[in-house]
Amino acid sequence: MLISSATILLLTASGVFLTYLFSKDETFLWRLAAGNIVGSAVFGLVCFLTASAFGLSVSVVLISLFIVSLSLILLKHKDIKRQFKSDWQRAKDKTQGGGIKKFWRLCYYVFFVVLFIAFFDRAMIIGSDGIFTGASQNLGDLPYHLGAIFSFSEGNNFPPQNPSFANAKFTYPFIADFLTASIVKLGADVKTAMLVQNVTWAFSLLIILESFVRKITDNKLAGKIAPALMFFSGGLGFLWFFKDYWYGAQSLFDILWSLPRDYTISDNFRWGNSLVTLFITQRSLLIGMPLAIIVLGRIWEILENGIKIGSQLNADSEDLRKKDKRESAKKTTAGFSHYLSPFIVGILAGTLPLIHAHSLAVLFVVSAFWFFFSLENWKEWIAFAIGVAVIALPELFWILSGSATHTSEFVGWHFGWDARESNVVWFWIKNTGVFIPLLIAVGVLRVFPQRRKDAKEKQGGSDSAKANQENKSKAGDIINFPLSTIHFIFLLPFLFLFLITNIAKFAPWEWDNIKVLIYAFIGALPFVALLLAWFWEKGTFFKIASVGLLLVLTFAGGLDVWRTSSAQIRNQVFDEDAVEMADAIRLRTPPNALILNAPTYNSAVVLSGRRSLMRYVGHLSSHGIDYKEREDDLKRIYSGVATADIFLKKYGIEYILISPKERESLQVNQQFFEKFPVVFEVGEYKLYEVK
């Protein structure tokens, strides 16, 4: 725990000072959260480049940490030092004294920290009888990530080959797992390293999302509501829960402590809860999303400062004209330094191909939409684009050149996402509950009351401004929902993402469209959160409605998160003999050894860090890899056909594993393997050396 925590603290401190290069007006808590993400992203790229040249070792990790920590020199810069002291003082002042608001604010953050610790602690469970996972959707993903982590820390996998498909480039965004491997290399155990990373990344995401929504909506309560809507996302699954309770024999207390199933992901539900189906299973998103939101926040400022919509944005056009002149004067005075911020933000976005490629694709779409609504700030957009290109293009070139992934598998027409035979409208209502109706209500509240307001202004003649001000003060006369045209421009690309992912697929497995759909959800989140906050501020009846809607939106997701956090699930991934065999493989085989094993997700080879000829076909197919020929050859080898030795030479197989996994899924000709010496044997596991 000490090694993992110390590494995260150093990366956070390094990242904090980098945030001053692109963001001037943020809280100290936001800088800590953003610093954790930015520091991790920069360190991941620096350490990977260094390890690619010299291999991953303790010295390489320490040198990379030193390089990243050079950002602390920024504290010597006069302006940054002054701003840092100001931010620190403001943070200290906020902690002084008491008050009910401070108490509830503290409870809010403490609740999520405790939740994240309890939840992510179930990602990997190490027992005397093997390795388990306490998350229902993590059975295949945990060994995949462990395989990637150990391939770096134990197999010295540089330049990285796909550990699940030997001799093919590893094109999966692996920086999250590489960061874990770096901490493991320093002496931490893998479970603790993943836990500390997951908890701090999740908490950073909470803070960054809260700040992002608060800036978009100009409403603090909406900022608090939004993370709850995301982390407890779900649909109408709670109705199925009440059905299970009604027809079951258990009391409400008993069923809550032994929930029979998930209520956001199953045959009936495909959206899933973000924690259960995404953040614990797809670790890349857990660091990729907060990084993408940081970038979205910065380019939103470009849009907000550059957009021209006259009186719809500001009732006083003269004030708007003067403000524009002041902004132009600032830009002229600042010169090159004015464009440094979007350039650096672009560099951060450029790290995403190796962190979470779908996040970069989302940023591309959003930027393209917003650019055309703020053309007068084209220089900032160009600076941002150059920053992205400098880092992202080399990464993309490296990923795509010589890859075993068939990109043609990633694009195709597919209507209704994962609705299958269901009615699409009912499918989305069932999976997201009242979220979409509330988003539609936001538009209605903005458009129709505005028409009434315009009509009143026309009737008022020269006194329209005064009448309008009076009408605003009269409860119930005109619904003054705090939304402007610029917010609809903000929402436009996210609505496009939702539409396009419902008519086409962007992954071999259509469900993986969720990697884009989740951003459509994030884009709409501020406005649904704002609606709930607006209800809360309207009176007793609306307060009740606000709380009720919040419960409806989070009940199903809360049940699934509770099921994991309360340790109700314990699925075995590796048995005791598999763990012992993996230890033996690490000790008795070279780091780059190529091992033949059954194409399963939980082979003992996964824990050894060694390469497999091939593993789980579900992972391979979802990454667009054509594995059919290799799978057929693997089956021929295990069946001991006359040409088996030829196939062993064809692929350069050095070791062969026979375990219960091979016997369950393949026809194993035991007699054929007797000619090979046994390197190690435990229980029903045998490792043969091919000579």
Cα(first)–Cα(last) distance of the chain, in Å? 43
Q: SS3 for 536-602, per residue?
A: HCCCHHHHHHHHHHHHHHHHHHHHHHHHHHCCCCCEEEEEHHHHHHHHHHHHHCCCCCEEECCCCCC
Task: Spell out a b/e string for 232-252, using b for 16 or more CB atoms within 10 Å of the CB, else e.
Answer: bbbbbbbebbeeeeeeeeeee
pLDDT band of 149, cuts 50, 70, 90: very high
* pLDDT tens, residue by residue, 404-434: 777 767 788 889 999 988 899 999 999 999 9
Sheet with 130-133, strands from edge to edge, namely 125-127, 130-133, 571-575
For residue 313, the model assigns a pLDDT of 43
Q: Around Cβ 593, how many Cβ atoms within 10 Å?
A: 19
∠ Cα 150 405 399 (to 5°): 70
- Global pTM value: 0.92
pLDDT at 311 over 80: no
497/80 Cα distance (integer angstroms):
38
Rounded Cα distance between 530 and 557, Å, is 20
Helix (H), strand (E) at residue 449: helix 435-459
Q: Would you say how long the chain is, in residues?
A: 691
| 621-627: average pLDDT | 91
Rounded to the nearest 10 degrees, what angle do helices 435-459 and 424-432 cross at? 100
Contact 236, 550 (CB under 8 A): no
Structure tokens at 346: 């672009």
Q: What local confidence, expressed as pLDDT, does residue 351 receive?
A: 96
Write the CB contacts of 632 (distance below 8 Å, at least 6 apart in sequence).
none
Q: By percentage, how much of the chain surpasses pLDDT 90? A: 78
Neighbours of 396 (CB within 10 A): 16
Confirm if 181 and 174 have CB atoms less than 8 A apart: no
In the prediction, which pLDDT does 44 show? 97
Average pLDDT over every residue of 137-163: 95
Positive or negative torsion for Cα 453, 454, 459, 462:
positive
Q: What are the pLDDT digits (tens) for 628-671? A: 999 999 999 999 999 999 999 999 999 999 999 999 999 999 99
Query: How far out from the chain centre does Cα 50 lie?
Result: 25
CA distance 535 to 640: 70
Q: Are 65 and 7 in contact (CB under 8 A)?
A: yes
Q: Which string of b and e fits 560-572 if b means at least 16 CB within 10 Å?
A: bbbbbbbebbeeb
- Render pLDDT for 365-415 as a digit per residue (tens, 0 to 9): 999 999 999 888 899 999 999 999 999 999 999 988 877 777 767 788 889
